Amino acid sequence: MSQDPNKPKANTMWGGRFSSSPSALMEAINASIDFDKRLASQDIQGSLAHSNMLAQQGIIASSDRDAIHEGLQRVMAEIEGGGFAFSKALEDIHMNVESRLREIVGDPAARLHTARSRNDQVAVDVRLWVRDAHDRTDEQLTRLIKALLDKAEPHAATVMPGFTHLQSAQPVTFGHHLLAYVEMFGRDRGRIRDSRRRLNESPLGAGALAGTSFPVDRHMTAKALGFDGPTRNSLDSVSDRDSLIEFVSAASICAVHLSRLAEEIIIWMSAPFGFVRLPDRWTTGSSMMPQKRNPDAAELVRGKTGRIFGSLMALLTMMKGLPLTYSKDMQEDKEQLFDAADTIEIVLAAMTGMIQDLEPVPARMAAVAGAGFSTATDLADWLVRSLDIPFRDAHHITGRIVSEAETRGCGLEDLPLDAMQAVEPRIHAGILEVLGVENSVRSRVSFGGTAPSQVVQQIAWWRERV
C-alpha cells in the first residue's frame, strides 16, 4: 500500500535517528551512565564514608549503616564482575548504584542519601577519580625521567649537532639533549604534584549548594576519603571544576613536551639524519614500499596531543558562562577528563618504551656534528682569549675564515693554518685545538652547559630526585 504523500509524517521536526518520543530524546541527551560508570568505585567509596558518618552522628541507625555497607560491597562486586545491569533510565552512576542497593538491602538504602545531594556526590566522586589520575601521571613521569637518565648516562660525551632554527649551530652532547627533556618532564611532574595538593579537599557535605541542617561531620568524611580537610564554601564546592581543568592543563603542557620529543625522534630516524634506530616493535612497514619503517608510535604521540588540547578547550568553554552553582552543563566534564587522562597515560607509556629501546648511532651524529662550521664560535672565542681581540672583531675575522673554508669546500678543522693567517696574521697553531667538535663540547663547562663533565653532574642531580 502506498502512503498518501500529503499526509505529514510523525516527528518531522526531529527526523533522522531521533524519530522517537520526547521522553526517549530526553533520556538520550540526559543520561550519563554510559561514561560515568567509570566513577563506580569512587561513588561507592564516597557512600561508605558518608553512611559511616551518618551513623556516627546518630543521623541513621548503625544497623542501617551495616546493611548499607554490606549492600554496597555487593554492588561493587557485581560491577567488578561485569554482572551489573546499568540502566539508562536511571540516568547516572549515582542513581544506578542507589537503586540496586535498594533492591538488595531494602529500606535502609533509602536513608543513604540523607544530608547529601547528587551535586556534592558527583563533586567528590570526580575529585577522587582525578586525584588517582594525578598519582598515575606522577608515577609515569617519574618512570619516563628515569628512562631518559638511563639513556643519557652512557651518552654524556656522545657528540651530536645542536640546532637553532633547525640549522646546525654548535655541537652538543646527546646526553645533554636528552636531559633537556628531563627538565621539561620534571616541571610537568611539579605541576601535577602542585595541582594534587590544591585539589585535596572534600566537597562532600556541601549538599545541593547551601550545606545541610543535619549535624554532619565533614571533617570525618574528608579524613576517611584521604582528603586534607573539607572545602570551606558549599556553593563553590558543588560548582568548582578547577581540579579537572588543572589536570588537563598540566596534561596539555606535558603533551607539548612529548610531542616535541616525538618530533625529534621522527627527524632523527629519517635516513638523511640516521641519528637513532628504533626496534621494529615501535614501527610499521608500508603496504607498498618494502624498504619503509615508519615511526608510527612517535607520530601518534605527536598526533594525540590535539585530543588533550581539545579536552582542555571543551572544559574551559563549558565552565566560563556558568553562574553559581551547579548546572547540568557540568555533566559534560567527565568524557573530556577521561579521554584526556586515557590519552596522556598511553602516550607517556609509549614514549617511555621508545626511549628505553632507542638506539643512538654515535658515528652518524659525530659525522655531521661539525657540519655548517659549527665550531666557528669556538674559533672566535679563541681569538678573544688567546689574542685579546674584542669579541665583535673576532666575530668579523671568523666570518672571513668561514667564508674562505666555504670557498675551498672544506670544514674549519681542515683549513690550512696559512689560510687562516692570511685573514689574521697573529693566528698560530694553538687554534687547531679548538676546532674539533670534541674539544668544542668539552670546553662548554659553564653551569648547565653541554660539556660531558656538566652532563654527568646534571644526571647525578636528577638521580637524587627520582
Q: Checking DSSP bridges between strand 276-277 and strand 359-360, what pairing results, if any?
A: antiparallel
Of 95 and 423, which CB lies nearer to ligand ARG in the complex structure? 95
Q: In whole angstroms, give the CA distance from residue 307 to residue 76.
A: 31
Cβ-based neighbours of 372, under 8 Å, separated by 6 or more = 161, 167, 168, 169
446 catalytic? Reply is no
Of 36 and 424, which CB lies nearer to ligand ARG in the complex structure? 36
453 catalytic? Reply is no
Place of cell 640516521: 274
Judge whether 252 and 308 are in contact, CB under 8 Å: yes
Q: How far is the CB of 233 from ligand ARG (least distance, A)?
A: 18
Of 95 and 256, which CB lies nearer to ligand ARG in the complex structure? 95
Of 69 and 118, which CB lies nearer to ligand ARG in the complex structure? 118
Q: How far is the CB of 34 from ligand ARG (least distance, A)?
A: 11
Task: Identify residues 168-227 at the interface with ligand ARG (CB under 6 A).
Answer: none
Residue 213's CB is within 10 A of a number of other CB atoms, namely: 8
Q: Kindly state whether residue 314 participates in binding ligand ARG, applying the rule CB under 6 A.
A: no
Q: Kindly state whether residue 331 participates in binding ligand ARG, applying the rule CB under 6 A.
A: yes
Long-range (24+ apart) CB contacts under 8 A made by 450-454 are 450/162, 450/170, 450/171, 450/172, 450/173, 450/176, 451/173, 452/156, 452/157, 452/173, 452/175, 454/176
Q: How many residues bind ligand ARG (CB under 6 A)?
A: 10
Q: Kindly state whether residue 257 participates in binding ligand ARG, applying the rule CB under 6 A.
A: no
Of 50 and 118, which CB lies nearer to ligand ARG in the complex structure? 118
Q: How far is the CB of 71 from ligand ARG (least distance, A)?
A: 21
Query: Measured at the alpha carbon of residue 129, what is the angle toward residues 127 and 132, in degrees to the nearest 5?
Result: 110
Task: Identify residues 114-133 at the interface with ligand ARG (CB under 6 A).
Answer: 118-119, 122
Q: How far is the CB of 123 from ligand ARG (least distance, A)?
A: 9
x/- map, 141-170, ligand ARG, by CB under 6 A: ------------------------------
Q: In whole angstroms, give the CA distance from residue 157 to residue 444.
A: 12
| Catalytic residue, candidates 2, 23, 165, 213 | 165
| Catalytic residue, candidates 63, 286, 327, 453 | 286
Helices (H), 231-295: 234-239, 242-269
Task: Identify residues 266-295 at the interface with ligand ARG (CB under 6 A).
Answer: none
Q: Kindly state whether residue 32 participates in binding ligand ARG, applying the rule CB under 6 A.
A: yes
- 436 DSSP 8-state letter: S
Q: Which helix (H) or strand (E) holds 437?
A: helix 437-443
How many residues appear in the chain? 466
Identify the residue among 64, 92, 246, 424 touching ligand ARG (CB under 6 A).
92
Radius of gyration of the chain (CA): 31
Cβ-based neighbours of 407, under 8 Å, separated by 6 or more = none
- Considering only 278-286, 296-304, 322-330, 368-376, which stretch makes contact with ligand ARG by CB under 6 A? 322-330
Q: Kindly state whether residue 140 participates in binding ligand ARG, applying the rule CB under 6 A.
A: no
Judge whether 278 and 261 are in contact, CB under 8 Å: no
Q: How far is the CB of 197 from ligand ARG (least distance, A)?
A: 25
Q: How far is the CB of 332 from ligand ARG (least distance, A)?
A: 8
Q: Kindly state whether residue 241 participates in binding ligand ARG, applying the rule CB under 6 A.
A: no
- 60 DSSP 8-state letter: S
- 280 DSSP 8-state letter: G
233 half-sphere exposure, CB direction, 13 A CA radius: 6
Q: Kindly state whether residue 336 participates in binding ligand ARG, applying the rule CB under 6 A.
A: no
CA 78 to mean position of chain CA atoms: 33
- Considering only 96-104, 129-137, 274-282, 325-333, which stretch makes contact with ligand ARG by CB under 6 A? 325-333
Q: How far is the CB of 239 from ligand ARG (least distance, A)?
A: 11
Which residues of this chain interact with ligand ARG, rule CB under 6 A?
32, 36, 92, 118-119, 122, 326, 328, 330-331
User: Which positions are annotated as active-site residues?
Assistant: 165, 286
